[in-house]
Amino acid sequence: MNKDYLNLIFSGFLFILFTLAIIEALTFSKLAQFFPLYISIAGSVLTLIYLITEVYKLYKQKVKEGEQIKISLLAPLRYIGWILGYLVLIYIGGLMLATAIFLILFLILESRMNFIHTGISIIAVLIGISLLSSALDIYWPTNLLGL
Amino acid sequence: MIESAIEALFIVLDPSRLVYMFIGIGIGVVVGLLPGLSGTVGMSLMLPFVFGLDPYVGMALLIGMIAVIHTGDTFPSILLGIPGTSGSQATIMDGFPLAKRGEASRAMGAAFFCSMIGGVIGGIALYLTIPFARPLITSFSSPELFMLTMLGLSMAGLLAGKSPLKGIISGILGLLIGSVGSAPAVPEYRYTFDTLYLTQGVSLPVVAMAIFAFPIIITMLTNKGSVANHATLQSGILKGVMDALKNKFLVFRSAVIGVLIGFIPGLGGSVVDWIAYGAGQKTVKNNHFGKGDIRGVIAPESANNAKEGGSLVPTLLFGIPGSGTTAILLGGLTLMGLEAGPKMLTTDLSVTLSIVWTLVFANVFGALLCMILVRPISKISFVPGEKIVPFLLVLLVIGAYQSTMSWGDLIIFVMIGLLGYVMTILDWPRPPLLIGFVLALPAERYYWISIERYGWEWITNPIVIFLAVIIVVLLSGGAIMKRFSKDYEQGGIN
């Protein structure tokens, strides 16, 4: 996707976010209101200024037929999918089981690691998590299976 | 003061705390030598684990790590020509040509030794600043403290790179995220959308990890295969050390430059090495900088470690974070029940002095560790990103969950992580967001107290006016110094 257009979409998103924050801040009492209200107004105004200047720059760039930088979204989306998948696995089966499954799949499919190295790595990570958990009193995310 | 320093020395040398310092050193070296990971990522990874720790232990861990990142980042800079962190860019200019000539060990010997000396000078500078800063900072009340938070927030513009407007918007976004939860002036919840999780506000470790570490793991995966594999290691570390000793005045000069730049919030990491390199090139006679001159390694490496001591002065004593790393450190202090500012020089003076000692010891041990383990450590920098990332992700998820032990932490981690990634690919600066987030609560609190106690009269306070002038001078001075370093970065080396 064109980087400039993506930047415009993101700036528009920020403008909407700040504007919604202003509307929400108006419902707070006076003492709770002043800080979020002022910063939201400042954010909204500055984002609008930025948005207008970017649209103007983009218009000028189009006239000059300048180079456009493309950003590939497919590869990042694939890896974001891996992260979300890992979290879903934790939610279903718990941290240890999910970590083992995630590492097996990722190391073999994405990292192209051989089975022996994958096995050793997973055992080392699971032992490391257990040691860390007992040493630093670490809590694991709750899960549906209660594991 | 000397008695307190000796007392702090014994605290630091306690075996249980030394263990944590060595863990910090180990993590710092690894974070430094992996291209792509920076001090902010390392700090954000560690932050969830310092919650509730004894402040001396937590500081041993965090400062141990910060101190040696610029020692570890020498490996990829010299061996691969890739900066391990932003503070080692200038090292490449001469370190990489030296490696290509088969003198990588010599370059690394000089770099590690200079990092050690620079780091120790930084620690001494932090110690020497305390007696001068104490009477000043303890006289501050809410209007002055509010102006100090404004000074910290003004760093959003300085850390923004090419577009200050983007930096300011990013900082305001951080302030907005920081205002989620209970209001300090009145018992009322804001932006919680009737969820119990948000009533305590968004957790700092989660925001820090999401905004810095999440985008890095995606970037490391999408840019796989970028790490080259061509430099070889031969003996010559001692020769490098001797080179550094021969150029002792250059080492000292560069370290002083590092400390002074560290004092100025907002300049820090990505600038210090270029300024020291540029100053070295101007002052060293008969040099051939840029073509494999060992003095081109000595100058930036002496400065980037020394900078850490200098940068801790505004962070610890005034609560002004000058970079993403120090912004997270500021949050780390809060998690351990400490507060940056006057208390760090009165009731918590022993913690401040323990930080000085940790900085000194970590630099010495970190450099020695790198010298001894140069061969095995250097192999890690050849490991491709896609083999490191899955393990990092596991650590991140566990770390994020420790904040409030709620699934809300993980959901916020992904949401802010995605925001951080979009900001990364669109060149929106992320450190200002974290600075805004960290300073949101003190800014609101000090402003409210100032208005309640003094009305609008506080604006005419001479210290408030002086701090306002400092903000203007720093912003304009910082821009000039950044331009100076950019001249070298963009082919100013003749």
What band does B492 get if pLDDT is binned at 50, 70 and 90? very low
Chain A residue nearest residue B187, CA to CA: A32
- The C-alpha atoms of residue B416 and residue B203 are separated, in whole angstroms, by 11
B175 touches chain A (CB under 8 A): yes
* H/E run at residue B87: none
At B380 the pLDDT is 64
Which comes out higher in pLDDT, residue B389 or B235? Answer: B389
Residue with tokens 């590939």: A72
Lowest-confidence region among A63-77, B143-157, B224-238, B343-357? B224-238
Give mean pLDDT, residues B227-237. 56
Q: Given a cut of 70, is residue A121 above it in pLDDT?
A: yes
Residue B181's SS3 state is strand
Q: CA of B391 to nearest chain A CA: how many angstroms apart?
A: 8
Q: For residue A32, give the nearest of B165, B190, B402 by CB distance.
A: B190
- The C-alpha atoms of residue B275 and residue B153 are separated, in whole angstroms, by 24
pLDDT in tens, B43-62: 777 877 777 778 888 888 88
Q: What residues of chain B lie within 8 A of the CB of A86, using their CB?
A: 393, 397
Residue A82's identity, in one-letter code, is W
At B418 the pLDDT is 94
Cβ separation of A36 and B179 shorter than 8 Å?
yes
Residue with tokens 């983009």: A58
At B169 the pLDDT is 92
What band does B17 get if pLDDT is binned at 50, 70 and 90? confident
Q: Look up residue B202 and give its DSSP letter.
A: -
At B494 the pLDDT is 34
H helices within A3-114, ranges in order?
3-25, 30-64, 74-93, 95-109
Joined together, the tokens standing for residue B174 give 């951080």
pLDDT in tens, A66-75: 566 777 778 8
Domain map (residue ranges) of chain A: 3-64, 74-136
- The C-alpha atoms of residue B60 and residue B55 are separated, in whole angstroms, by 8
Measure CA of the first residue to CA of the last residue in chain A; give whole Å: 42
What band does B420 get if pLDDT is binned at 50, 70 and 90? very high
- The C-alpha atoms of residue B59 and residue B329 are separated, in whole angstroms, by 9
Q: CA of A59 to nearest chain B CA: how many angstroms apart?
A: 18
Q: Given a cut of 90, is residue B106 above it in pLDDT?
A: no
Residue with tokens 């920020």: A14
- The C-alpha atoms of residue A34 and residue B448 are separated, in whole angstroms, by 9
- The C-alpha atoms of residue B70 and residue B359 are separated, in whole angstroms, by 13
Q: Given a cut of 50, is residue B493 above it in pLDDT?
A: no
ipTM higher than the 0.90 cut: yes
Cβ separation of A142 and B407 shorter than 8 Å?
yes
Which comes out higher in pLDDT, residue B344 or A115? Answer: A115
Give mean pLDDT, residues B100-108. 81
Largest separation between any pair of C-alpha atoms in chain B: 69
In chain B, residues 373-412 whose CB comes closer than 8 Å to chain A: 384, 386-387, 390-391, 393-394, 397-398, 401-402, 405, 407, 410
Which comes out higher in pLDDT, residue B261 or A5? Answer: A5
At A50 the pLDDT is 93
Residue B341, phi then psi, degrees to nearest 5 = 125, -150
At B285 the pLDDT is 79
Cβ separation of B393 and A71 shorter than 8 Å?
no
Q: For residue A14, give the nearest of B169, B183, B386 by CB distance.
A: B169
Measuring CA to CA, which residue among B491, B71, B488 is closest to residue B280? Answer: B488
Average pLDDT over chain A, rounded to whole? 87
Interface mutation vs chain A, best among B47, B154, B170, B172, most A CBs within 10 Å: B172
At B429 the pLDDT is 84
Joined together, the tokens standing for residue B284 give 């060293």
Are B85 and B212 in contact by the 8 Å Cβ rule? The answer is no
Lowest-confidence region among B178-187, B223-232, B358-367? B223-232
Q: Given a cut of 60, is residue B491 above it in pLDDT?
A: no
What band does B289 get if pLDDT is binned at 50, 70 and 90? confident
At A63 the pLDDT is 62
Q: Is B17 exposed, middle or buried (0-12, 13-18, 19+ CB in 10 A)?
A: buried
Domain map (residue ranges) of chain B: 2-492
Q: What residues of chain B lie within 8 A of the CB of A46, using their CB?
A: 165, 168-169, 172
